[in-house]
């Protein structure tokens, strides 16, 4: 649940019952007929669409930049709710990408392990092999479910489960790996709140990173593995605190007010980067380590349009990167800094489909 966000386009994206576009064209026809890049998207070139139908998100590069691991909900792929899949950076062959998760329960937040021979991801399948109930609204308030049945697992690239990294009661998910391959950062409720933790690559040496009240999640390491970037809610008023705690006690959170933060990997030198209001999330470091890409709806009066923005780590020089009219999020740079992968509602024929796109990065 680093995962999909807020309001109308996001509700579509995370729903286990999203409609699949039955009239989607074949890849070759779609790519010939549609121009994916908007004229304002000057930092992107040679964009390609890699998936075609269903809800596809959180695509992340292997360390050798050759493959992507991602989550998808697609009835045609035998995935009524999110499962983990892999494809090359050129896309997948055949009718569907290979599934690396068990196909049971709900999964989220996959990432390659060092050596590119395995992945980690979170799954609810030990509690129940069926898709868990997905609550999206309570008393008119948009919410995310925080399943306490999520634990973090390792699988090889043939889809065989190789181990379990977390065993504590409560929610454990949103794991990513440091570029140096030594550490994992993840979100957990083991303290009673949604905080960031790090552990060694084998699951040992668990250390708490954050301790502020609110939902800390979606963390990634900086290119030098020394810092973390993440998004966080920070309820302050008595009413906000009560609402947050009441929802959390029910396994729910409201993700509609979040900002971007950075800190050292041990939690020191905490710094709020954005002060934009609304929902700012899905951050990822620029290859320089001096800038951050993230998704936001702060510029949208309705709150329903999400685009990718870039900002300096010190909070200056905000710049809009993507311009889709509905939804762009989950940016990740390839480890060589040449490519950007992200998820978008563009080119979906007016359906609810969210697909994975890849483009050359232009400074």
| Per-residue model confidence as pLDDT tens digits over 199-231 | 999 999 999 999 999 999 999 999 999 999 999
What is the pLDDT at residue 54? 97
How many alpha carbons lie under 13 Å from residue 292 in its C-beta half-sphere? 31
Characterise 278 by phi-psi region: left (phi > 0), alpha (psi -120 to 50), beta (else).
left
| Rounded-to-integer distance, Cα 153 and Cα 173, Å | 10
CATH 1.10.20.10 holds for 7-361 = no
List of the chain residues with pLDDT < 70: 1-35
Tokens (6 digits) for 311: 């900002």
What is the pLDDT at residue 35? 67
What is the pLDDT at residue 34? 53
What is the pLDDT at residue 1? 54
How many alpha carbons lie under 13 Å from residue 247 in its C-beta half-sphere? 25
Residues 231/261, Cβ–Cβ less than 8 Å: yes
Tell me the domain boundaries of the chain.
7-361
Tokens (6 digits) for 334: 């390839």
- DSSP state, 189? -
Q: How far is CA 76 from the centre of its chain?
A: 22
Residues 267/241, Cβ–Cβ less than 8 Å: no
Residues 310/262, Cβ–Cβ less than 8 Å: no
| Per-residue model confidence as pLDDT tens digits over 114-139 | 999 999 999 999 999 999 999 889 99
Give CB contacts under 8 A, 24+ apart, made by 19-27.
19/351, 19/352, 20/53, 20/54, 20/74, 20/75, 20/76, 20/351, 20/353, 21/53, 21/348, 21/349, 21/351, 21/353, 23/349, 24/52, 24/53, 24/349, 24/351, 24/353, 25/52, 27/52, 27/91
| Rounded-to-integer distance, Cα 258 and Cα 333, Å | 22
| Model confidence, pTM | 0.92
Residues 251/189, Cβ–Cβ less than 8 Å: no
332 sits in which H/E element: strand 328-333
């Amino acid at each position: 649940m680093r995962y999909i966000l807020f309001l109308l386009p996001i509700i579509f994206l995370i729903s286990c019952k999203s409609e699949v576009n039955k009239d989607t064209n074949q890849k070759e026809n779609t790519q010939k007929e549609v121009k994916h890049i908007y004229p304002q998207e000057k930092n992107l070139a040679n964009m390609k669409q890699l998936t075609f139908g269903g809800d596809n998100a959180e695509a992340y590069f292997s360390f050798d930049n050759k493959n992507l691991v991602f989550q998808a909900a697609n009835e045609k792929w035998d995935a009524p709710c999110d499962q983990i899949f892999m494809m090359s950076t050129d896309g997948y062959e055949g009718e569907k990408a290979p599934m690396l998760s068990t196909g049971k329960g709900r999964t989220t937040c996959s990432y390659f392990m060092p050596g590119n021979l395995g992945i980690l991801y979170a799954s609810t399948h030990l509690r129940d092999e069926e898709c868990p109930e997905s609550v999206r609204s309570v008393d008119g308030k948009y919410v995310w479910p925080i399943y306490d049945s999520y634990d973090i697992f390792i699988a090889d690239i043939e889809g065989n489960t190789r181990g379990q990294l977390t065993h504590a009661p409560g929610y454990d998910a949103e794991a990513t790996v440091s570029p140096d391959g030594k550490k994992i950062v993840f979100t957990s409720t083991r303290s009673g709140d949604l905080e960031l933790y790090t552990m060694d690559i084998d699951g040992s040496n668990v250390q708490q990173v954050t301790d502020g009240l609110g939902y800390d999640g979606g963390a990634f390491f900086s290119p030098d593995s020394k810092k973390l970037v993440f998004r966080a809610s920070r309820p302050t008023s008595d009413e906000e605190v009560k609402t947050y705690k009441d929802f959390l006690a029910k396994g729910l959170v409201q993700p509609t007010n979040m900002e971007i933060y950075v800190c050292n990997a041990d939690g020191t030198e905490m710094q709020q980067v954005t002060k934009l209001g609304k929902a700012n999330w899905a951050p990822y470091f620029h290859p320089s380590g001096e800038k951050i890409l993230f998704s936001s709806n702060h510029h949208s009066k309705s709150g329903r349009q999400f685009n990718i923005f870039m900002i300096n780590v010190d909070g200056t020089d905000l710049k809009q990167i993507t311009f889709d009219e509905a939804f762009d999020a989950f940016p990740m740079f390839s480890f060589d800094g040449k490519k950007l992968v992200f998820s978008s509602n563009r080119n979906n024929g007016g359906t609810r489909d969210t697909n994975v796109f890849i483009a050359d990065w232009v400074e």
